[in-house]
Amino acid sequence: MGMNAVLQPQRRIPEWQAVLTGSFTRPAQLLAYLQLPPDLPGLKLAEVRDFPLRVPLGFAGRMEKGNPEDPLFRQVWPSPREAEKSPHFATDAVGDLDKLRPGGLIHKYHGRALVIATGACAINCRYCFRRHFPYAEAKASRKHWQPLLDELAADQSIEEVILSGGDPLSLADDKLAELVMGLDGIPHLKRLRLHTRQAIVVPERINDELLDWLTDSRLQKVIVVHVNHPNELDTSVGLAMERLKRAGIPLLNQSVLLKGINDTPSVLKSLSERLFEFGILPYYLHQLDRVQGAAHYEVDEAVAKALVRDISGQLPGYLVPRLVREVAGQPSKTWIHW
C-alpha cells in the first residue's frame, strides 16, 4: 500500500454476528467441547450436508458435559436415526409449499400471512419441520421486497404479518428495518409477529439496533420465542428478555413435545414456571410435525394428552400451553383437547 493510501474505516461487526462465527459446525468439535466420546454414534459431515450441525457456543455451554442424554444436546445432535425413512413422514410436513407465493409469502390462515424472511438459523434443531424447505428459491429478499409488499397491500383481509424463516433475526438490522418500514406503510396491517429461536440461543441478538426499529414501528408487536426445556433459560437469556419487556413487547413461547427431552410432567411444569419467571407466557405445545428425519422425536398423542392433563392440575391455567398439531389444509392450528 502506498504512503498516500487512505485507510478505510472497518465496518463494526455486531456482537451477535461475532458470536455466530464461533458456532460448532463439526461433530468432533462439539463432542470434544462436551467431553463426550469421539465415537458417539452420529451422522458424518457428508451425510448432513443439506442440514448441517450448527450450535452456538453459548447454547452448548448450557449443556451438561459428559452427558450424551443431555436434553439440549439431544436437540442438536445428528442421530443416525435421521437416515431412517418413516411412513407418514414427509419433506413438506405442514403443506407450506402448497400455499407458498412468489417472494416467500405463505398465506394459510385468514387475517394473517407469513413471510419466509431468510433460510438462515443460528442453530439447526434436528426436528425442524422446514429442514427440507427450498429456501434458495422460496424466500423473501431485499431485491424482491416491493412485490411482496405490493401483494400484502392488495389483500386488505391481512391484518397481521409473521416474520419467520429460518429465523428472521438472522438478518441484519438495517435489512429488517427496511422491511418493517415497508410494512408500516400498508394501512390495513395492524400487527407484526416475529417467530425466533435466535433470541434464546444467541441472546446478544437483542441489541440497541434491533430495539430501535422494533419500537419505531407503528405496528403492534408480538415476539414468539422457541424454548423446549428449562435448561435453555439462563441469565443471559433473562437479560435479553428483560430488554424486550421494557420495550413493551409481549413475549410468548412455542415448544415442541420431544421424546426423551421434555416428555415428562416435571419438565413441562418446570418449563412453564421458568418461562413465566422470564416474562414469557407459555402459548403452544406442538405435537411433532411429521418431517422426514425426525420420527424418533415423536411422542404418542395419548401420552401428550396425559402430560397436559397432569400439568393442568398443578399449574394455573395461564401457565398451561395449548396442545396443538398443525394439519395441512386446516384453517388454523388443530387444538388437541386432552
**Model pTM?**
0.93
Question: For position 197, what pLDDT does the model report?
Answer: 98
CB-count burial class (<10 Å; 0-12, 13-18, 19+) for 289: buried
Residue 151, classed as helix, strand or coil, is helix
Question: For position 138, what pLDDT does the model report?
Answer: 62
Q: Mean pLDDT across the stretch 120-147?
A: 81
Sheet holding 281-286, edge to edge: 100-101, 105-106, 112-116, 160-164, 191-196, 220-226, 251-256, 281-286, 322-325, 334-335
For residue 113, which of 65, 68, 58, 164 has the smallest C-alpha distance? 164
- Structural domains for the chain: 15-83 (no CATH), 96-335 (3.20.20.70)
* Phi, psi dihedrals of residue 44, rounded to the nearest 5°: -80, 165
Highest averaged pLDDT of the listed ranges 85-89, 92-96, 102-106, 185-189: 185-189
Question: For position 272, what pLDDT does the model report?
Answer: 98
Per the prediction, the chain carries an average pLDDT of: 92
Helix (H) / strand (E) element for 234: namely none
Residue 34 predicted with pLDDT over 60: yes
Question: For position 1, what pLDDT does the model report?
Answer: 43
Give percent of the chain with pLDDT exceeding 70. 94
Question: For position 157, what pLDDT does the model report?
Answer: 97
Residue 142 predicted with pLDDT over 70: no
One-letter identity of residue 196: T
> Which residues, listed in sequence order, are joined to residue 161 by a DSSP beta bridge?
113, 192
